[in-house]
Amino acid sequence: MKYLKETTDWSQVTEVNIPNHTYIVEDTRAFGYIRANDGVKVMFSKPIPFGKRGRTFKQLKESDVL
């Protein structure tokens, strides 16, 4: 599994605050994420589709996340 830290610049979106979480992914499926505000790991009961279109990410090492 890969850990992808979102680095998308959301400054053009002013209506809401969009946090850049760290996603736990494999291929095109997300298995969970690590919340940006408090670092809590949240795992999904089933993998969900994950797309990177229009977003930017930096791949992290597992040791950097845990």
Domain residues for 8? 2-65
Within 8 A by CB and 6+ apart from 34, the residues are 3, 21, 22, 23, 24, 40, 41, 42, 65
Q: What's the pLDDT score for residue 1? A: 92
31: left (phi over 0), alpha (psi -120 to 50) or beta: alpha
- For the chain, what is the domain count? 1
Percent of the chain with pLDDT over 90: 80
Residues 21-49: pLDDT tens digits? Answer: 999 999 999 999 999 999 999 999 999 99
